[in-house]
Amino acid sequence: MKKKKITVFSAIQPSGHLTIGNYISVLKHWKVIQNQYKCIFCIADLHSLTSITKKNFLQKKSVLDTLALYLACGVDPNKSIIFIQSLVHEHAELNWILNCHTYYQELTRMTQFKSKTEQIKKKINAGLLNYPTLMAADILLYQTDKVHVGQDQKQHIELTRNLAIRFNSHYGNIFNLPELLIFELGSKIMSLLEPNKKMSKSDLNQKNIIYLLDNLNNISKKIRSSMTDSDNPPRIFYDTINKPGISNLLIILSTLSEKSIFELENYFLGKSYLELKKEVFDVINKHLIKIQKKFFIYRKNQSFLINIAYEGAKKASIIAKKTLHKVYKNLGFLEKINF
């Protein structure tokens, strides 16, 4: 089958709980694309180490929660490879090699790095700076054709491509050059109270975020209190500059109901913001009831989840080893053997 020749790679960090933003921009598509492509879905727990604090350390629990959520969203381990990054040590190894081919200036230029360091200000761990090279290692190890990400990761994929080109030009054709796979509509879901800023699972204000595992009553309250605007009479149309709150709600509704923005604008002509919020809640409710129900069934079965993690790691490491072997050989290192 031709369709399965194209490898798609994607990953989410298991830090904190996943949000409706993760779902709409990335997760929701996995169930569909796994039928079209050879998909590799990773739980990027090594990346989570970059945001670890004394109070907020990584737990086995959040990795297994994330795995159960992948399954609850329809990712099928018989169709896709699902694996946990830290179980495949080739990621850390290639990361080092790529670090030595990445310029410091390229890393300090990354907008995500700049905004994170602005928030943190004091002690900034070097992992935060090197974060994109670990991402590049994730992607390049699997000879990825397409990387599926949300809008905020675009710059990291551009860096990955530059590294692959640089590496290939030094050492021969080692890495496939990955392309971006982005589903534009919904690729960036904004915060509920501050619709000019991306919804982020690390936001301190819980009212900005809808978690996939939030209690549904809470979600209803959060949507009701979401920021709109003071247009009088209320006008419901898509305009991210002048009406960021309404536009965000329209995008959520459009992507989850599969109705076009145009169709929704017509439907809401003359209607109130409360009516829009009610419809947004209904559609979220419809999706999350199913996901949460499945999540709790999968999550209860810990040995089943751990088994999937090990099986996935086995499959992933076969591919990763092959690439790393090629890299070592071309760098002039002694080739690795199993001792």
Which residues does the annotation mark as catalytic?
Answer: 116, 198, 201
| Distances in whole angstroms, Cα of residue 116 to Cα of each of 94, 108, 162, 229, 333 | 24, 11, 23, 29, 36
Binding mask 202-231 for ligand TRP (x = CB under 6 A): ------------------------------
CB nearer ligand TRP, residue 261 or residue 319 = 319
Residues 7, 8, 11, 299: which binds ligand TRP (CB under 6 A)?
11
Binding of ligand TRP at residue 10 (CB under 6 A)?
yes
Distance between CA atoms of 69 and 85, rounded to whole angstroms? 16
Distance between CA atoms of 146 and 37, rounded to whole angstroms? 10
CB of 285 to ligand TRP, least distance (A): 25
CB of 238 to ligand TRP, least distance (A): 25
Distance between CA atoms of 324 and 92, rounded to whole angstroms? 11
CB nearer ligand TRP, residue 49 or residue 139 = 139
Neighbours of 278 (CB within 10 A): 14
Binding of ligand TRP at residue 139 (CB under 6 A)?
yes
CB nearer ligand TRP, residue 15 or residue 228 = 15
CB of 57 to ligand TRP, least distance (A): 18
CB of 11 to ligand TRP, least distance (A): 4
Binding mask 86-125 for ligand TRP (x = CB under 6 A): ----------------------------------------
CB of 44 to ligand TRP, least distance (A): 4
Residues 45, 65, 90, 138: which binds ligand TRP (CB under 6 A)?
138
CB of 203 to ligand TRP, least distance (A): 14
CB of 17 to ligand TRP, least distance (A): 14
Distance between CA atoms of 335 and 325, rounded to whole angstroms? 7
Distance between CA atoms of 253 and 274, rounded to whole angstroms? 14
| Distances in whole angstroms, Cα of residue 329 to Cα of each of 100, 137, 321, 323 | 16, 17, 12, 10
Contact partners, residue 237, CB within 8 Å, separation at least 6: 243, 246, 250, 265
Binding of ligand TRP at residue 141 (CB under 6 A)?
no
Binding of ligand TRP at residue 129 (CB under 6 A)?
no
Largest Cα separation within the chain, whole Å, is 74
Residues 44, 128, 163, 251: which binds ligand TRP (CB under 6 A)?
44
At 70, list the tokens: 């992948």
Specify the 3-state DSSP secondary structure of 172: coil
Binding mask 63-82 for ligand TRP (x = CB under 6 A): --------------------
| Distances in whole angstroms, Cα of residue 172 to Cα of each of 110, 166, 321 | 27, 10, 18
Looking at residues 145 to 204 of the shown chain, list those that interact with ligand TRP (rule: CB under 6 A). 147, 149, 153
CB nearer ligand TRP, residue 138 or residue 279 = 138
DSSP classification of residue 86:
G
CB nearer ligand TRP, residue 91 or residue 243 = 91
For residue 164, give the nearest of 180, 181, 149, 176 by alpha carbon.
176
For residue 216, give the nearest of 285, 159, 168 by alpha carbon.
285
For residue 25, give the nearest of 180, 153, 185, 178 by alpha carbon.
185
CB nearer ligand TRP, residue 19 or residue 226 = 19
Site of interaction with ligand TRP (CB under 6 A) = 9-13, 44, 47, 135, 138-139, 147, 149, 153
